Chain A
Amino acid sequence: MYALVDGNNFYVSCDRVFQPRLVGKPVVVLSSNDGACIARSNEAKDLGVKMAQPWFQVKHLERQGLIAVSANHELYGDMSARMMAVEARYAPRQEIYSVDESFLDFTGVRDDLVATGRAMRAAILMETGLPTSVGFGATKTLAKLANHVGKTADRKPGSYPSALAQVCDFSHLAPHELDAVFAATEVGSVWGVGKKINERLKAGGVHSVLDLVRADAATLRSQFSVVLEKTLLELRGTPCMEVDDAPAPRQQILVSRSFGTPITHVDGIIESVSEFTSRTAERLRAQGSVAGAIGIFFMTSPFRQSDRQHSVNVTMPLVRPTADSAILVSAAVAAVRAQFRPGFKYDKAGAVLTELRPADQVVQGELDLFSEPADAEATPAEGSRAKLMSAMDALNLRFGRDSVRLGSTAAASSGAELRAWATKQERRSPRYTTRWNEMPVVRAR
């Protein structure tokens, strides 16, 4: 038996803990460049704000009381850790699935699960101030769906029986009750049924979860995929996914961001792409991997229809796998120079490292066969490069990010546009729980 515990409108709820005046008001949290709505309170959803909608499209709702705050990821990270710690007390195993979701494995636990779920929900609310929804099911897919039902029953009274609100246990329901819930739930709500599969299922007459549960497994596998067949089996109560205690190492590392204001000059793109590449390289070294290829992209805003559009996305294989910032950045800069076209307002850029493998698996035989011996002498020896990289990481860790960086990143240049891509966070709340000088102030007067 699994539970999925999920924070309701998590980012908004974190800000509300320390700013109670936001309770009951329509609130959205904007992405780190203040570009898009990445979390919405129920009141904001009722005003019609859609997930990931660009802020400029809903800004006019400020007149109707909509409040926007900038993402405060330090706060969300700490509140997440607190929430996860409380949850972990209630089950023998926990898999943290995202910042606001965790699976709890209740296998072998004989308690009344609904009562346990309610007690856990109350403890999380009391100790952290965060409201959650809890779903129980025989499989992870069922637990996630039960969570969705519990959340919806709470937010939209009448959508499901009120007994399912907040804490919803599918294993508690009689077969005909479960069928009724499945019939009232769109197939797109199922974990793993994405937009495209959803459209194809509907075209084939599968609209509700009940339709899917009653479909033929072999047909689904042949027409869709083994993955969808597994989803079906999970919905029927056969576990096909375990609670993983150790997540697999990341297969790609991506850093991208929208700019605060559009960039039109090649230097601005070079600077931001260099910066993003440095970030990916830091993460690469932190997980002890090397990359076999680097991709860069930069593009104009698809939301600004009146602008001329241009989009670049190139991947360059590396002569040999590396985690060296200097090599990765110079490859990225060369690609930007080759692909940049003047006359466009670029809005977003990023860097992505792929073909990752553990650094210790790279054998000497893969060493550069193409460069002349003179070249090899001109570049510093491998060992000293690795030392330079770890020294850079250590300095940045100790003295703060960007204490030391490569020449093409922001410190090397100046000018308003060059810094324009740096994160814009005009509305960020204080980092209440992670900075001594930003703690909440309480009125004692």
Chain B
Amino acid sequence: MPSPPDIPDGAPVGRDSEAPLPASRRTSNAFGSPGTDSTVKRVDLNDALIRHPDATFAMRAAGGAMAGAGVGDGDVLLVDRAVAAAHGAVVIAVVDGDLLCRRLDIAGGRAATSRIVRLVAEDDATPPITITSDTPLEVWGVVTTVIKSLTF
């Protein structure tokens, strides 16, 4: 591991209060401390990624059938129940009492009778599920974000 650039080799690092801080880490008094300005707020992923906090749930994907939509095995999904599911959305649907991740595909005319609703996987192997009056569609929520960890 390389040392942080502003600490010279051999300089005391850590909790030794006697050691002077490197100049670049000292806070300048002349211009005030930007860290104490209450109007400055560090980026918060909750604010950035979650539009409806009371209606958003984290879920983990198991399986690779949605790889084409960017959802890998083990990825964390943010699922928002407050947004309406439209054609093309990646959704969590309730199928046979199970929570299933698929893309919502709506084809055909505006009239409900001529509409064809399917839950489509995003790989080459998994067949789509066609929604009929026997298997009514129940959308649990809409996937708004995929969190993909690259390190662990």
Contact = CB atoms under 8 A, between A and B. Distances in A.
Contact of B63 (A19, A82, A432, A444): A444
A85 B54 contact: yes
B57 A432 contact: yes
B51 to A, nearest CB: 12
B60 A440 contact: yes
B62 A442 contact: yes
A18 B140 CA distance: 10
Contacts of A18: 99
Interface in A244-277: none
A45 to B, nearest CB: 21
Nearest to B123: A445
A195 interface: no
A436 B147 CA distance: 13
Contacts of B71: 444
A41 to B, nearest CB: 15
Interface in A99-116: none
Nearest to A18: B99
A129 B100 CA distance: 16
A440 B59 contact: yes
A413 interface: no
Contact of B92 (A19, A86, A433, A442): A442
A20 B126 contact: no
B101 interface: yes
Contacts of A215: none
A439 interface: yes
A23 interface: yes
Nearest to A432: B57
Contacts of B59: 439-442
B64 A444 contact: yes
Given A126-B81, A127-B82, A442 B57 contact: no
Contacts of B76: 439
Contacts of B104: none
Interface in B41-79: 52, 54-55, 57-66, 71, 73, 76-77
A442 B54 contact: no
Given A20-B94, A129-B81, A443 B100 contact: yes
Nearest to B99: A442
Contacts of B10: none
A85 B55 CA distance: 10
B58 A439 contact: yes
A142 B64 CA distance: 54
Given A21-B97, A445-B126, A128 B54 contact: yes
Nearest to B96: A21
Interface residues of A, number: 23
A82 B53 CA distance: 8
Interface in A78-96: 81-82, 85-86
A82 B54 contact: yes
B63 A445 contact: yes
Contacts of A20: 94, 97-99, 138, 140
Nearest to B143: A442
Interface in B111-144: 126, 138, 140
Given A21-B98, A129-B81, A445-B126, A440 B57 contact: yes
A436 to B, nearest CB: 8
Contacts of A127: 52, 54-55, 81-82
Nearest to B55: A127
A443 B63 CA distance: 7
Interface in A392-445: 432-433, 436, 439-445
B121 to A, nearest CB: 8
A443 B102 CA distance: 9
B63 A86 contact: no
Contacts of A444: 61-66, 71, 73, 100-101
Among A23, A127, A129, chain B packs the most CB atoms within 10 A around the CB of A127
B94 A445 contact: no
A438 to B, nearest CB: 10
Given A20-B98, A444-B100, 11 more contacts: A19-B97, A20-B97, A21-B97, A126-B55, A127-B54, A129-B140, A433-B58, A439-B59, A440-B99, A441-B99, A444-B62
Interface of A: 18-21, 23, 81-82, 85-86, 126-129, 432-433, 436, 439-445
* 8 A-B pairs closest in CB distance: A445-B63, A21-B97, A127-B55, A444-B101, A444-B63, A444-B61, A442-B99, A82-B54
Interface of B: 52, 54-55, 57-66, 71, 73, 76-77, 81-82, 92, 94, 96-101, 126, 138, 140
15 contacts: A18-B99, A19-B97, A20-B138, A21-B97, A126-B82, A127-B52, A129-B81, A432-B57, A439-B76, A442-B100, A444-B66, A444-B73, A444-B101, A445-B63, A445-B65
